[in-house]
Structures are given as C-alpha cells and as structure tokens.
C-alpha cells in the first residue's frame, strides 16, 4: 500500500489531473486489478462502510450495489424464494449467503444497477464471483478474495475489471474535511451507531415489531446513512427494495422509492416470470424489456422495443391486474433520513404494503403523521437520529 493513487481523471474526463491520497499513513486499500476512477472510489469507500455496518448490525453477510455515490440496492444473505431466483435470473445457480446478499442487492433495481460498483462484507467466494462475472459491473471492494476468485474477475471488461481489497481493520479519523470552491469544510464524521435502540421509541397505537421487521428497518436506516439526501428506503425480506435518493421534497423521495418497490414486486408476477424471451437476449436487455413492459402509456416505438425481445403475452397486465397484485404486498418496512413533514408520504407508503416505519420525528405535524399510521395499522418508531448524507 502507499499514501497516494493517481487516477485517470476526476468526475469527468476534462477534470485532470486527479488523485486520492492520505495526509498521514497509507491508503487503506489495495488495487488488485484494473485502474479505478474517481467515481469508482467514491462508490467503493461509501459502499464498504454500508456493508460493514450492515454486517455489524445484523451479523449476516452483506452486500451493496452502488451507482453514482448512492446505493441502488443493499441486502443481507437471506436465502431467495424461487420467485426471486427467477426474477433475478439466478434460478440455476448455487448461492452462498454472500452471493444471495449480492443477488438481492443487485435485484432491488436491476435497471439502475447496470454498471454498478459492488461491495461485500466478507471475502469474496467462488459463488459470488461467478454471479458477478455474469453481470455488467465496473468493480468490487471486499476485505479479501478466496483462491481462484481474482482469475474469474479478470475475465470481465477485457481484464480491466476493478478489484479493490480494503483493510477491514482501518478506522477513519473522527474529523473529516472536504473542499468546495477552494473553501474547506470540516465536520465530525457520521459515527452514529444504528442498532435496535433506534426502534424502541414506538409512538403509534400499534406496538408490535417482529424480528424480521426490526432487521429490515435496520437495513433501511443503514442504507440511508450512505444515500444522497433527501432520501427514503423501503426494505423487505432482508433487502432494500426501493430507494428514493437526492430529491428536494420528501414526498417525491417516497413516490420515487415506492414506484421502485411496486416494480420490484410486479417483476415477481406470474405473467412476468413466464415471459418467453427470444434467443440470445442478454440479462440487461431482459431487464430493460421487463421495465418497459410494466410501464403504462408506452409510445408505439417503446412498445416495439420490448416486443422485439420476447413474445407478447396474452395478458398485458392491466392497471386493475397490477393493483390486485400489489395489494398482496404486506409487511414492508420504511425508513426516512429526516422527519416526515406531512402525512402524504405515509398515505403513499401504505399502497406499497408498508406496516413498519422509522423516522427521526420532530416535525410540527408529527401528530398528523402518527394519526395516518394509526389509520393504516402501522407501527412507527421515532429514532431521533437524522441521517442526511451529502
């Protein structure tokens, strides 16, 4: 390891020269393959923190799929249902707990995860390497790699796939500094510990919170800690299933994330799982075709695009059919990085099966948000912990 790494360029090709460096000590990671870029390293270092915290909070193998310094998905190694295996295109694969975590992280929003940077809480095993080899991905960060894994990863991107090994013992300084427009900003690093303690202050009439719901609420909160704000995160079954990042309005975060939740669940509809794709249609094209198939009000050109990839099913999934399927969703968890200023986010969340909520609280309209949760039979906790990330 050294204290400096020269990069090809910064965020854009015209932003050169570029480097990362340490003022004291050596960089806490090694480049085992490829030539990481500026955005690659932003994704890698944020995503590593996320999966390390998920592992610490849940005790389970964890993975994240990052794009443009926000997670497209994050998950722990809960075994996949047969429907999810088919929806994630892994039904024929052997999945370790780590591979299951990455399949879930990647599967939360497969369209957005195209060209992701992956993060793993454990040394990468062969099962996870074989899974990542099949996907369009730019790089991975992990604390280690089992024998034979690096050779598999070198088959990607004509040998240029970025492989980083992080020192899991590295602890960043308490204070962090960044520079904007020649001006230095300094603050204490976000060292907030997200544990079950953030879920103890339940403010709704309904108080029950099963262990699976607690796990999913922890996953959602930790995901938000590394998501560009404003943000909300829906989680279910040990994984994030909808993340709304970087919006100026809380309700727009919720609508964006909830639309992803609905798309995630609709991908498991029997009609979608039984689509007959034409020969030699790769997974990215399948993902895009399914995404368009589930979209309403497509133009003729867009309809032709997905019809060219698979046989048109007799059932086109009408609005009523979709709504009937989505009404089956239940037990979804929702976290917000700051308080809900109005009840509108709760009204939208209940349409996507939300039963458990955690948010900081502190709005002048907290009583109206609690009232909305009570109307829908939700359990909501006030964490009193804001999780803005910029």
Q: Which helix (H) or strand (E) holds 235?
A: strand 231-236
Outline where the chain has alpha helix (H): 38-58, 82-87, 97-107, 126-134, 149-153, 211-225, 250-266, 270-273, 283-293, 300-307, 319-326, 344-350, 366-376
CA atoms of 96 and 90, how far apart (whole Å)? 12
Is residue 230 annotated as a catalytic residue, yes or no?
A: yes
CA atoms of 108 and 170, how far apart (whole Å)? 29
Cα distances (angstroms) measured from residue 288 to each of 72, 96, 110, 133, 160: 16, 27, 9, 20, 25
Catalytic residue among 68, 157, 206, 322, which?
Answer: 68
Catalytic residue among 55, 67, 156, 214, which?
Answer: 67
The count of C-alpha atoms lying within 13 angstroms of the C-alpha of 202, restricted to the half-sphere facing its C-beta, is 15
Cα distances (angstroms) measured from residue 95 to each of 193, 212, 331: 30, 21, 25
Contact in structure between 7 and 44 (CB atoms under 8 Å)? no
Is residue 225 annotated as a catalytic residue, yes or no?
A: no
- Residue 346 has φ and ψ, to the nearest 5°, of -70, -40
Residue 180: partners with Cβ closer than 8 Å, 6 or more residues away: none
Other CB atoms within 10 A of residue 89 CB: 19
Instruction: Give bridge partners of residue 19 from the DSSP assignment.
Output: 6
Is residue 269 annotated as a catalytic residue, yes or no?
A: no
Is residue 68 annotated as a catalytic residue, yes or no?
A: yes
Catalytic residue among 230, 236, 260, 309, which?
Answer: 230
DSSP letter for each residue of 342-370: STHHHHHHHTTTEEEEEE----TTHHHHH
Contact in structure between 145 and 124 (CB atoms under 8 Å)? yes
CA atoms of 104 and 53, how far apart (whole Å)? 17
Catalytic residues: 67-68, 230, 390
């Amino acid at each position: 390891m050294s204290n400096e790494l020269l990069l090809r360029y910064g965020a854009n090709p015209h932003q050169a020269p570029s480097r990362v460096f340490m003022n004291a000590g050596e960089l806490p990671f090694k480049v085992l393959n490829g030539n990481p870029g500026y955005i690659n390293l932003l994704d890698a270092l944020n995503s590593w923190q996320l999966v390390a915290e998920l592992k610490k909070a849940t005790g389970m193998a964890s993975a994240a799929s990052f794009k443009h310094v926000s997670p497209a998905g994050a998950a722990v190694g809960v075994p996949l249902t047969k429907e999810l295996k088919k929806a994630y295109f892994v039904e024929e694969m052997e999945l370790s707990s780590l591979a299951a975590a990455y399949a879930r992280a990647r599967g939360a929003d497969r369209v957005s995860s195209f060209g992701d940077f992956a993060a793993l809480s454990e040394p990468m095993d062969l099962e996870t390497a074989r899974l990542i080899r099949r996907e369009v991905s730019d790089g991975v960060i992990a604390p280690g790699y089992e024998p034979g894994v690096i050779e598999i990863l070198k088959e990607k991107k004509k040998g240029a796939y970025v492989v980083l090994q992080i020192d899991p013992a590295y602890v960043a300084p308490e204070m962090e500094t960044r520079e904007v427009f020649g001006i230095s900003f300094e603050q204490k690093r976000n060292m907030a510990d997200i544990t079950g303690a953030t879920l103890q202050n339940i403010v709704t009439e309904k108080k029950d919170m099963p262990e699976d719901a607690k796990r999913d609420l922890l996953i959602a909160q930790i995901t938000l800690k590394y998501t560009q704000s404003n943000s909300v995160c829906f989680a279910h079954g040990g994984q994030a299933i909808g993340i709304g990042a970087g919006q100026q309005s809380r309700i727009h975060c919720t609508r964006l994330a909830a639309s992803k939740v609905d798309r995630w669940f609709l991908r498991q509809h029997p009609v979608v799982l039984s689509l007959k794709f034409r020969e030699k249609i790769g997974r990215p094209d399948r993902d895009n075709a399914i995404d368009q198939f589930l979209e309403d009000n497509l133009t003729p050109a867009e309809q032709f695009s997905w019809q060219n990839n698979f046989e048109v099913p007799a059932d086109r999934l009408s609005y009523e059919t979709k709504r009937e399927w989505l009404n089956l969703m239940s037990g979804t968890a929702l976290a917000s990085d700051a308080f809900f200023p109005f009840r509108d986010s709760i009204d939208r969340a209940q349409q996507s099966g939300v039963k458990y909520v955690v948010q900081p609280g502190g709005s002048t309209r907290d009583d109206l948000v609690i009232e909305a949760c009570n109307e829908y039979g939700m359990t909501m906790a006030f964490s009193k912990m804001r999780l803005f990330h910029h």
